[in-house]
A and B are shown apart, each in its own frame.
Chain A
Amino acid sequence: AQSVTQLDSQVPVFEEAPVELRCNYSSSVSVYLFWYVQYPNQGLQLLLKYLSGSTLVKGINGFEAEFNKSQTSFHLRKPSVHISDTAEYFCAVSPSGSARQLTFGSGTQLTVLP
């Protein structure tokens, strides 16, 4: 079984500042890792995913994440945020080879302040 911990439930940040949203996972097998974004009153949209290969993954809207196997982490970063990035961000994990078995973290609300 897998589990995901998102360490920060809320992250306020000023516009154009950098941001890091933290995600740690636990699994006894190798995993795929995902970040999803949920804008207000909308469904989830995939930001990026790590399947294998390079540990630095680039996604949409200028986001990137780095897979760190030794620290079992998959933190999401953006060098300069915009007001429009205000949303809920979910980290998720699945066993490698079975992306249907997604386990989600509890989410991090990113609020970008003017």
Chain B
Amino acid sequence: DTAVSQTPKYLVTQMGNDKSIKCEQNLGHDTMYWYKQDSKKFLKIMFSYNNKELIINETVPNRFSPKSPDKAHLNLHINSLELGDSAVYFCASSRTSGGPTDTQYFGPGTRLTVL
């Protein structure tokens, strides 16, 4: 059983398009995250939701909008895609919103390529 799953695994699209990446966790966790890993493998948090409520919102363009229909899902919608959006996007989840025994579990990543 996959703990944190993402779809699609690969996404190739043209500049200006709108796309979504889906994330689901079956761990019963309350908190979910989106990270962006750039071409130099630098990993940076974008958003975090706890029980469907936004708790972390780093400096990310407004074109990126997370949506959490329930605490097991956190989807990432990107409008008007730009070349610089090309990256690997990782979803993660943790049991609570960051207690000392918490561990973030990561999904396999979605490689987005904008042409």
List chain A positions with a Cβ less than 8 A from chain B.
32, 36, 41-46, 49, 51-52, 88, 90, 94, 96-102, 104, 106-107
- Roughly how many angstroms separate A42 CA and B101 CA in the complex, as a whole number? 24
Q: Pick the interface stretch among B11-19, B59-67, B75-83, B104-112.
A: B104-112
Q: How large is the interface on B (under 10, 10 to 19, 20 to 34, 35 or more residues)?
A: 20 to 34
B24 → chain A, closest Cβ, in Å? 14
Whether B86 is near chain A, meaning CB under 8 Å from some CB there, is no
B100 at the A interface (CB under 8 A): yes
- Nearest A residue to B5 via CB reads A43
* Dominant SS among interface residues on chain A: loop
Known: A94-B98, A99-B100, A100-B94. Is A43-B45 also a contact (CB below 8 A)? Answer: no
The answer to whether B106 touches A43 (Cβ under 8 A) is yes
Given contacts A43-B108, A43-B109, contact A99 B102 (CB under 8 A): yes
Question: Given A100-B48, A106-B42 in contact, is the A43-B4 Cβ separation under 8 Å?
Answer: yes
Contact in complex: A107, B41 (CB < 8 Å): yes
| B115 is an interface residue with CB less than 8 A from chain A | no
Chain B residues whose CB sits within 8 angstroms of the CB of A52 once the complex forms = 100
B90 interface residue (CB < 8 Å to A): yes
Given A51-B100, A99-B99, the answer on whether A104 and B43 have CB atoms closer than 8 Å is yes
